[in-house]
Structure 1
């Protein structure tokens, strides 16, 4: 069995993909920084990358405003969306994008379960010339993927290309299951946790695959980077989509922006920007 070992060094098939990703990026630092970096400096770093990950807390409008500002400044050749399926993304032709007020309806956003479209609309407006790619694994498909197996769902050839066919070490698997349990208020049956970790990895790999396809399919990849719009968990360098992107295309340069609330964020990013938290109900109330 091939193992993704996030703790050890490069030892044959047991190597640290996350550390390899971080080692290639000299500006990496852990989060919880006190003072926000200058956004202009962040934009300059992003312009130099092939792939730019813009993290978010999904329901924080300030995070989406930062994403829109960065995208408008770097003029990406493509935008990859965690929130859209490829079928939805294919609806975004120039005529549709020219009518931003209608985008939410065209995409069926209200039925998607994501926060209000008004938060995301500025991002679409900021990228009128970009191609749009979807990388979503909807909940209905996620359940089927767990039943079928993430590798089989993703495709054996692509799973090998992106390293999705490599098992996590026992320690890493346990850590991720504990994270999933904590994120769900310690209310989940333990037998569900391995499947939830598998789905998270599948979504990471799906974002990486869409970004690489967008980069390879661009008419002029030098014209601008490919941007991934996603939650912080997928944007982190130590276990997110970057791990699978690095495995498939180690020659590409990557830049990751994490967005915190009151400086609190899990994971490692190139840069972290913090905003005020959003008032939201107790997420654990639903489990009571």
Structure 2
């Protein structure tokens, strides 16, 4: 097993060194990239570091080689066949960006002859010129560009994303990969217009090109509205989110189109986006399948552990038909954060 395979097999497999419970087994081997996974040892939940795979749904042994050998084969096959790997995240979880940055570093080393294009939800398409300027600087200046150069170029501090320092490991790895860096999200003003007006805000040809004139299934649409209602802390009914749901679909489809455009130029692609965008039933993979049905994709979600969830199966989101919406799920430590609904309720003057 070469170095990047050895790393991924252990980094994804590593579990907290607590007594195994609920059919979960703790790893005992020392990971080769301890600076990434060593902090996970302090997690008290036995599922931290465990992996669920769609093709082996009963596999819960984080150190078992077979599960991870198969996962690695899937990633190899996806990129090797000119496909898309989608790596999810919880935006404010630093461990997610560290893990994906380390993974990207090893993948880029192995695929250096033709690295996959890297597409980012966090950067808007109208910022591509600024992103390109950083890459050009990195290639021509007397010093290497840094993640801070990217954050400054795209005015990250005013973007609404969490602290840039959380994302630094990912963007540092992206720069060092020498891959094409692609801004994935639509321009902000267009997203706002769609959120207000729905498809009427888009040119008819663009809406058709992005497959937005074809509605989601009733179950998928209801699920999207339910998710939007929950993300707004139940302060408004589902019926209030019709055009906002269109905006979410617009972002998903735009990310998919940007990914496919980059893939055509570079041979394969990796998308970095929130877990909600990489879900197969109505996220980016849904539009990839519609826009390029012959392209293979593989979606991985990074899901935070919850104290009251001791069963691995409970971490696997499913669609209305009971089918998993990801190809793999990795259980990670939970970020420390305040309840975002507290601030939202204060703004709306409502109590929980």
TM-score normalised to structure 2 length? 0.65
Deviation per CA, 1:112-149, whole angstroms, max 9, x where unpaired?
01111122222222223111211223554322123443
- SS of residue paired to 2:303: strand
Question: What are the equivalent positions in structure 2 for 1:41-190 lying under 5 Å apart?
Answer: 42-49=71-78, 50-75=83-108, 76-93=115-132, 94-97=135-138, 98-100=144-146, 101-128=148-175, 129-137=178-186, 140-150=189-199, 153=202, 155-190=203-238
Distance 1:87 1:112 in 2: 13
Unaligned runs of 5+ in 1: 1-26
Q: 2:256 matched to 1:208?
A: yes
Q: Which piece of structure 1 moves more, 144-153 or 254-263?
A: 144-153
Superposed displacement of residue 152, structure 1: 5.2
Superposed displacement of residue 86, structure 1: 1.8
Aligned length: 256
**Which one has the largest radius of gyration?**
2
Question: Which residue number corresponds to residue 28 of structure 1?
Answer: 54
TM-score normalised to structure 1 length? 0.79
Distance 2:165 2:234 in 1: 32
Question: Which residue number corresponds to residue 317 of structure 2?
Answer: 266
Question: Which residue number corresponds to residue 338 of structure 2?
Answer: 281
- SS of residue paired to 1:227: strand
Contact residue 126 and residue 186 of structure 2 kept, 8 A: no
- The CA RMSD measured in Å over matched residues stands at 2.7
Unaligned runs of 5+ in 2: 1-52, 109-114, 139-143, 306-311, 319-324
Distance 1:151 1:227 in 2: 31
Distance 1:167 1:67 in 2: 33
Superposed displacement of residue 228, structure 1: 0.6
Deviation per CA, 1:144-168, whole angstroms, max 9, x where unpaired?
1234433752x43443344221123
Contact residue 77 and residue 131 of structure 1 kept, 8 A: yes
Higher relative contact order (CA 8 A, sep 6+): 1
Deviation per CA, 1:192-246, whole angstroms, max 9, x where unpaired?
311221111111101100001101123xx1xxx3111100000111221000111
